[in-house]
Amino acid sequence: GELAAISNYSVWHFIRIFARVFGETPMEHAHRLRMSHAVQLIKEGRLSVSEVSREAGFETFSAFCRSFRDEFGTTVTQFRERAITA
């Protein structure tokens, strides 16, 4: 909503233009950035999974775990174990 107001477009029109230009909606873009940040934090290995979920901007731990599994096809713990051994 804020980006649409700044650009002087309606929310619907802003989302449509954004998706046409970037190939994803603003929400999809934000989600991709959050997941990318989470992956970096997991690979660093200094934070717990619950800390990673908060740092990546997820409101609940379960929402983060579900989103991560949907995005990468594996649990956060399994991903971390593979990243450590790689």
Cα gap 68→82, rounded to integer Å: 15
Q: Which residues contact 71 (CB under 8 A, 6 or more apart)?
A: 35
Q: Which residues contact 74 (CB under 8 A, 6 or more apart)?
A: 82
Q: Which residues contact 72 (CB under 8 A, 6 or more apart)?
A: 79
What is the percentage of the chain residues whose pLDDT exceeds 70?
99
What's the mean pLDDT in 6-27?
95
Position 83 pLDDT exceeds 90: no
Cα gap 53→62, rounded to integer Å: 9
- pTM of the shown model: 0.82
Residue 53 near residue 61, CB atoms below 8 Å: yes
